[in-house]
């Protein structure tokens, strides 16, 4: 038990907002990978972008049963331009919410 983990009852797929997911370009069944926080170099976003760069081509070449991966970035900061430049074409930047 990890006391500071994610509340799995509150953050459960049953609570999905399909309209919001559609605004991000996600279709039903797609996997949304979200980063929420300040877009700054010290947050390790280069590692996230590298991981997405490795995962997306493998998923695209896999069987049709594999869900699409839709990266979503929520936040702003000094590293936003670099994140946009390094992000996959399907990535959505929601800005500060």
- pLDDT tens per residue across span 49-70: 999 988 877 666 555 656 788 9
**Residue 12 token pair:** 């459960």
Measured between alpha carbons, how far is 10 from 81 in angstroms, rounded to an integer?
Answer: 33
Tell me how crowded residue 62 is: count the other CB atoms within 10 A of its CB: 10
Give the mean pLDDT of the chain. Answer: 87
Average the pLDDT over 4-26 and give the result.
Answer: 88
Query: What pLDDT shows up at residue 6?
Result: 81
Question: Considering the chain, what percentage of its residues have pLDDT values greater than 90?
Answer: 57
């Amino acid at each position: 038990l990890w006391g500071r983990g994610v509340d799995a009852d509150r953050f459960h797929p049953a609570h999905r907002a399909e309209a919001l997911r559609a605004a991000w370009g996600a279709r039903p069944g797609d996997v949304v990978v979200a980063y929420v926080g300040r877009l700054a170099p010290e947050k390790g976003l280069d590692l996230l972008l590298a991981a997405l760069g490795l995962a997306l081509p493998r998923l695209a070449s896999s069987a049709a049963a594999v869900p699409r991966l839709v990266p979503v970035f929520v936040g702003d900061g000094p590293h936003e331009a670099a994140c946009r430049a390094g992000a996959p074409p399907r990535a959505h930047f929601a800005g500060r919410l």
